[in-house]
């Protein structure tokens, strides 16, 4: 039986088509691209970071240690018509102003011998400023002289400021200095005024600005100075300032002062005020005692030794603000 040509061609084409499908399946080209995942508006998961650390905020009142004569207070009292003796006696309780019969003509300061007038003028210039009212200048000059007398006229340069280049000749400060020394001119024999307590020169310390009332030397440094008992009103406007420190900064300051101090995990418990003198208000005063970690120290020691005078006064309030 014969097979027709049409059937042969049909069979050939069917086999060839199956062969092509097999080739495409094996080597790609048959099948669709995988679908692209649809985009969404969902945000990416947030990255995990450490929270910002907290900080300590100090608000200070006044400027300086607060013991003895406030220089801003002396300026204000002079503006109010007080003379230099009234100014001095208002800050050094129970003292008198006397004339020194054995006034020297020279003072040793920082190991160098300096003529008395030069020493007093250049010290007063740096301490209270040459533009202060005359009676305030006189009060400062007498306080400086008495301070030097306390140290037997041999004063370490760390004890007070001094302007070695100040040209004082002919200035109001110079005239004020000659006046309290009882000198008509620079070549006269000096006869200085000084602050006396029970027959000896007083320790006439002074500072920039008061927090309302002066504070006691005993609670600031220790020692017995009856004429530095604190509580003397000072008329200037109280200077208020703030200073901030991070937790890490405070930790470094405390442990640099004393590495044996123990600080807990909560910075809010590192510092606390135990007592103050109420110089500014019933709630705020010069800090007498405070806790630093597990250690008790004076407020002035905290300001000087821990804070290294980065806060203006040891009359302060403080707050820990967590992150």
CA distances from 259 to 123, 205, 253, 266, 268 (A): 38, 32, 10, 18, 19
Q: How far is CA 10 from the centre of its chain?
A: 104
Beta bridge partners of 60: 241, 316
Residue with tokens 């007063």: 124
Q: How many CB atoms lie within 10 A of CB 277?
A: 22
Print pLDDT tens along the chain (323 aa). Answer: 444 444 444 454 454 454 445 443 444 444 333 343 333 344 444 433 344 579 999 999 999 999 999 999 999 999 999 999 999 999 999 999 999 999 999 999 999 999 999 999 999 999 999 999 999 999 999 999 999 999 999 999 999 999 999 999 999 999 999 999 999 887 789 999 999 999 999 999 999 999 999 999 999 999 889 999 999 999 999 999 999 999 999 999 999 999 999 999 999 999 999 999 999 999 999 999 999 999 999 999 999 999 999 999 999 999 999 98
Name the strand (E) or helix (H) holding 218: helix 217-220
Inter-residue contact 147 to 203 (CB < 8 Å): yes
What pLDDT score does 16 carry?
A: 45
What pLDDT score does 106 carry?
A: 98
Q: How far is CA 112 from the centre of its chain?
A: 31
Q: What phi and psi values does residue 292 have, to the nearest 5 degrees? A: -120, 105
């Amino acid at each position: 039986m014969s097979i027709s040509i049409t059937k042969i061609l049909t069979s050939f084409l069917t086999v060839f088509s199956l062969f092509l499908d097999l080739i495409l399946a094996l080597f790609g080209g048959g099948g669709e691209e995988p679908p692209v995942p649809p985009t969404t508006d969902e945000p990416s998961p947030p990255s995990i970071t450490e929270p910002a650390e907290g900080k300590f905020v100090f608000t200070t009142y006044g400027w300086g240690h607060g013991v003895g004569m406030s220089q801003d207070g002396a300026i204000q009292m002079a503006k109010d018509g007080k003379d230099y003796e009234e100014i001095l006696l208002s800050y050094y309780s129970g003292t008198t102003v006397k004339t020194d019969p054995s006034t020297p003509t020279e003072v040793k300061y920082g190991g160098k011998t300096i003529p008395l007038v030069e020493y007093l003028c250049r010290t007063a210039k740096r301490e209270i400023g040459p533009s202060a009212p005359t009676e305030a200048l006189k009060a400062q000059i007498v306080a400086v002289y008495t301070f030097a007398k306390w140290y037997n006229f041999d004063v370490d340069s760390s004890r007070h400021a001094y302007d070695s280049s100040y040209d004082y000749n002919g200035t109001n400060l110079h005239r004020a200095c000659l006046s309290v020394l009882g000198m008509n001119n620079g070549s006269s024999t000096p006869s200085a005024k000084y602050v006396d307590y029970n027959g000896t020169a007083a320790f006439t310390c002074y500072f920039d600005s008061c927090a309302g009332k002066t504070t006691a030397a005993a609670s600031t440094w220790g020692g017995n100075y009856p004429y530095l008992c604190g509580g003397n009103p000072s008329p200037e406007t109280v200077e208020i300032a703030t200073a901030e420190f991070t937790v890490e900064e405070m930790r470094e300051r405390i442990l640099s002062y004393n590495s044996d101090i123990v600080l807990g995990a909560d910075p809010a418990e590192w510092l606390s005020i135990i007592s103050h003198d109420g110089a500014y208000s019933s709630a705020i005063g010069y800090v007498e005692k405070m806790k630093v970690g597990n250690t008790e120290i004076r407020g002035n020691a905290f300001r000087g030794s821990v804070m290294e005078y980065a806060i203006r006064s040891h009359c302060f309030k403080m707050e820990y603000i967590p992150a």
